[in-house]
Each structure stands twice: as C-alpha cells, then as structure tokens.
Amino acid sequence: MTVQERIEELRNKIDYHSYRYYVLDDPEISDAEFDALMRELEQLEREHPELITPDSPTQRVGTAPAAEFEAVTHSVPMLSLANAMDETDVIEFENRIKRRIGGQRIEYVVEPKLDGLAVELIYEHGIITIGSTRGDGVTGENITQNLKTIRSIPLRLRNGNDIAIPPVLAVRGEVIMLKKDFERLNQERLDAGETLFANPRNAAAGSVRQLDPRITAQRKLDFFCYGIADATGLPVATHTDVLAMLRAFGFKVNEFTKCSSIDEVLTACRQLEDRRPELPYEIDGAVIKVNSISLQKELGTISRSPRWAIAYKFKPQQATTIVNDIIVQVGRTGALTPVAVLKPVRLAGVEIQRATLHNQDEIDRKDIRIGDTVLIQRAGDVIPEIVKVIEHKRTGHERKFIMPTLCPVCGGRVVRPHGEAVSRCTNSRCPAKLKESIRHFASRRAMDIEGLGDKLIDQLVDRGLVRDVADLYNLTLQQLMELERMGEKSAQNILSSIEKSKKAGLERLLYALGIRHVGERTAHLLVHNFKSIDNILKATRDDLLKVNEIGPEVSESIFRFFSDEENRRLLDRLRAAGVVCTPAESIPVETPLSGKTFVFTGTLHSMTRSEAEKKVISLGGKISGSVSKNTDYVVAGEDPGSKYDKAQKLGIPILSEKEFLKLIGS
C-alpha cells in the first residue's frame, strides 16, 4: 500500500468512527484506538505535507486567528419564522394555508425549535467549502474555520443510501451546545474566574463567532440540520425526504413527528413541550412545517417568512421571587462570586433557592438590590439566573450590594485587577481557596476520592491537618477517627479511597491540580502530546503553544504553574507519596463489559448519563442510543422510557442502577 493509500484509508476510518461517535452517538472503538488512528494520520501528514487536503480530519483545528470575518451572501435568503404564541395562532396558520390552496389534505411535520445559532454549510462535490452565519438573512459572516472544528459537521458528505451527491448542496441548521456541555463550560469558567455565559445559546453563539478557531475547537458544540436552501433537481418530494437525505449524507437530524391534521400537530407540540426539561438541548418551541415541497413552493413567502412554516413558542421557564440576601462565595482561584439567596420558588419542577450573580458588573448592569422582586429563569439545566428586576415592586427599602474589600472567609485583601470583571482574595493561604481546591482535587472527574465530602474537608482544613492536597496522602487512621462523626469503618473507607486515587493517572492528576484554564480536555492534550510529567515540566511556552488547541493564555497559565517553586515541590511530594504520574492505561485487558453494547434509559442517581457511558467505554463496552437485537444490556434508571418496553419485548437483560454499579465494580 502506498502512503497516499494508507492516508486515504486512515481518513475513511477516522471519518467513519467520528460519525459513529459524534453523529450516531454509538461508538464502536475506544478513545485510545481512535487516538491511535489520528496519531498515525498526523504523523504521515507531517512527513508528507503535500498530501494534506482541506477535508482531512486533521484539518478541523488549528488555523491562526482571523482579523475579521468576511461577508458571505447566501444564494437563497435564510428566512426567519413567524411565531404562533398559542394554539389559536396555529389554527389560524392552517386557515391561512387552506385559503390559499383550497381543501386538499395537508401533511405537517413538527420539529423541536433548537435554540442556538443558524448557519449554512456549502458542500461542493461533497466537500465543505463555506460555512456562514445567518446574519441578516441575506448576508452572513464566513466562519468556515470555526464550523470545521465541530465534529458532527461532516467535512465530506457520506455516500449513504446511494443518493448521488449533488455538485452543490447548501445545508442549513443550528449550532447548539448541549445542556451538559454548557454546564461543564460554565463550571470551568467559574473555576478559572472568568465571566459566565447566561445560557447555552449565548455560549454556542459566542463560541462559534470567535476570531480564533482554536478557542472554538475547545468548546463542545453540536450541529443539527433542518433543511436545505434549494431542493431543485434533488430526488426529494417532501421535507421528510430532505431530512432522510441529510441523514444519509452523514448529518445529525433531529427527531420529528409527521402529522396528518392540525389536531395532531397540536398534540405533537404539547408532547414536545412536556418533554422539554428532559431533552439534552434547549428548545424554545416547536417548528411546524408543511411536508410537501411542491405545496411549500406554491405557498411561497411573505415578508421574509415562509407561509408554509411557523414557530410555536413554548411558555418561558421563568418565575418571579424575592432576593432575600446577597452572599459572597470564594472559589478555588480566590474569585469572589456574589450569589443571590432567593425566597424558594418552583421552576420547571425544581425548587430554586439561589441564583448566581456572576460578579459586581452583572449586578450593576441589572441593578439588582437586596429586597428586590426579580424575574428568574433557568439557563441550561440547573443554574438559575436573574433576568431582570421588577422595578415597580420596589418599596424604597431595597439595599445595594457592594463587593467586600476583605475576603469574607480569611479577611485577606480583595483586589479586582484592572480590566477584569472578577474580584479575588489575594491571600494564597485563604482556607476557602484551599477547601475549594481540595474539593476539586477529590471530585469524581479528577482524583475521584470517594467519601471526601465538604464537611470532612472543612474539618481537615480547619484543624490544620491538610494544608495542601499532598497532605491528604499523609493522613492517618488515628487523625481521621478523631474527627466528628467518624467511626473506624468510615475512616478506613476514606483512607482506602485516598489510596486508590494514587492510581488515577497523569491526565486526571493534571486536571485535579486546578491549573487555571486546564480542564479535562487540556489535561488530555498535555498527556497526549508530552507523554510524561517530566516533559511537561520541561516544556517552554513555545512548546506548549505548538499543541493544537492550546492558545497563548492557556500556555502561559500552564507554564507559570509549573515554573512556580511551590507547585513543583507539591508535585514532588505527591510523587513521593506514591501518586502515579504516568498516563493511565486506557484500555483494560478483558472485563465483563468487553464488546458488550449498553443502552441507557431513565435517570441514574449515582452518576450522570455521560459519566456512566464513559465508564462503559473505558471498560471496553459500547454505547448505543436505541434498543435492538444487538443490545446486550439495557440499564434502567428512574422513569425509564420506551426503550425499557422494547427491551422487555426483545428479551434483553435489563439492569437496575444497583446491578449496573455492581457490574462495573463500583
């Protein structure tokens, strides 16, 4: 096989496995196997740069920042949708259609209205050439480099179902951030003392409109398509044909419901609204579309909106309540975050008692005072935020909040560096910082020290038993047993989970250290690129910058961390205590899960769905989104869905959460 042939073979394999992972959510190989394919391709392309093509999977990341975005004129304008605010508006929508086309039967499609950023992708002979924002509908911005970093956007179309790939195809859809990725991103930003995104929509839009594609590449974005600019000449008669074609070309297409009457449409809208809280992404409504493309053409458009489609808006997930107090929390980096203590209120099925206020600027911008009546909403899944103050409810007794100048925990001096939004405690020994850093170190995704909870951390720090994370490894049974509410058995358990954490591996350790800007992804990149802690310690700013996806700010932060004498000593002590500083072996030899396919349904209590899925994959198993005869186990959490019934019907073993935990040995 020639080098060129091997390169092409690798690209096909990588494209296929990316598609399984990012589009179908049904991987067939482990991350480590995938990484190995990618490394081989990178190596060959380094040796033969003349063979690099723009659609190679290596070309998703790493171009230099742009000074500005170029304008792109859409060949067919990107329309917007008229809104239906209630069910009467939907019935009126159908009446208008009937008046134009007479009494013929109309088939509709109901889809989720994703709340993200509308984009268009142009494929020429199956290869992506331009990706742009909607802009004003006529002209948008060229953000091709950024869109290419999104793994669920194919760089070349798949040749599914033998549909001929047209010379030019303009695909339209929505770039979104899943709720879980939004929460993770905001948590990381909070840890790093950065300003937070108000909701997944802003996070997606802000990420995709970055001038530096390396930043976009670090954000977990997703793309769902919902249409094409022009169906002329394509073998499609209906909107659902278009969706099926797009699916065959390798895109993620959202679920939809075909309806043969407006009553069915209304039912589908109501059902979607009911399921809104459990969907993995934010939706703000349902889109109702006439299915037949010839009918769509006949109906045409009016003032920039099609007559054949409408957006049915859902009730906002908002409520009003009172700000009883504003308190200040001190984070791991010393950042002081003001938090509103609310009069408890129920919102989308959850009792809300607190809302983050982010920082002083945010409070000032919204003019939020203690005693105010406020409108709150849930952004993403959990973090509630204050949308605005209901000013006419003011009594004159409200109090303004002023950021303290001394740390509420240690009394240390608080500074707000010029040009930054965040105030920080300057005391490097502030116990709040220390407690937060231990909490992070011990967290499930970091060193995973089970049983080391907040109360215990408080006691360990307050009694001076732990002054940094390395001290955890010197704790004795005696010391633990002297703490409040600690029997010999629990103390033993904690010591053994501390012992177990020594083998977490370098990747988790780097993440656990809480280096500013180093989340799990960057920790992975560091290990992947430098292989050992000693190489990381030796790396210069430039060495770090050479890593795709690591920008100047991140490299500076990593470099500084490892140049600091105190941090180096900490690492030495961790090593001396037996904490393993080499990469963890990612594929276990043979486990009860090897090669088995798992499907999850319902809510798990001991971990999130994504943690459970990662665990399965790390133990050699596979994940699938739907139950079929190829499924080996269905794991049923609380309130399982239709997958449960299907598994029963097919006689597939159904595991409870407890049984699943036993199987994975935790």
Which CB, 309 or 456, lies closer to ligand IVH?
309
Strand pairing class (309-313; 83-84): parallel
Q: Which residues are near ligand IVH by CB under 6 A?
A: 79-81, 111, 113-114, 118, 134, 174, 226-227, 287, 306, 309, 311
**Minimum CB–partner distance for residue 91 and ligand IVH (Å):** 20
Angle at 264 between CA 259 and CA 268, to 5 degrees: 90
**Minimum CB–partner distance for residue 39 and ligand IVH (Å):** 37
**Minimum CB–partner distance for residue 422 and ligand IVH (Å):** 33
Which CB, 81 or 196, lies closer to ligand IVH?
81
Beta bridge partners of 318: 377
**Minimum CB–partner distance for residue 286 and ligand IVH (Å):** 8
Which CB, 205 or 472, lies closer to ligand IVH?
205
Are 381 and 180 in contact by the 8 Å Cβ rule? The answer is yes
Q: How many CB atoms lie within 10 A of CB 496?
A: 12
**Minimum CB–partner distance for residue 43 and ligand IVH (Å):** 40
Which CB, 112 or 154, lies closer to ligand IVH?
112
Which CB, 4 or 301, lies closer to ligand IVH?
301
**Cα distance between residue 182 and residue 201, in whole Å:** 9
Which CB, 309 or 533, lies closer to ligand IVH?
309
Please name the residue that has the structure tokens 């989340």. Answer: 519
In 3D space, the residue among 177, 175, 110 whose CA is nearest the CA of residue 311 turns out to be 110
Residues 6+ apart with CB under 8 A from 49: none
**Cα distance between residue 617 and residue 21, in whole Å:** 11
Strand pairing class (139-141; 108-114): unpaired
551-588 burial string, b = 16+ CB within 10 Å, else e?
Answer: beebbebbbebbeeeebeebbebbeeeebbbebeeeee
SS (H, E, C) 71-136: EEECCCCCCCCCEECCHHHHHHHHHHHHHHHCCCCCCEEEEEEECCEEEEEEEECCEEEEEEECCC
**Minimum CB–partner distance for residue 601 and ligand IVH (Å):** 25
Residue nearest to ligand IVH (CB): 118
Task: List the structure tokens of 496.
Answer: 């053994």
The phi, psi pair for 94, rounded to 5°, reads -65, -40
**Minimum CB–partner distance for residue 285 and ligand IVH (Å):** 8
Residues labelled as active-site residues: 113
Which CB, 302 or 402, lies closer to ligand IVH?
302
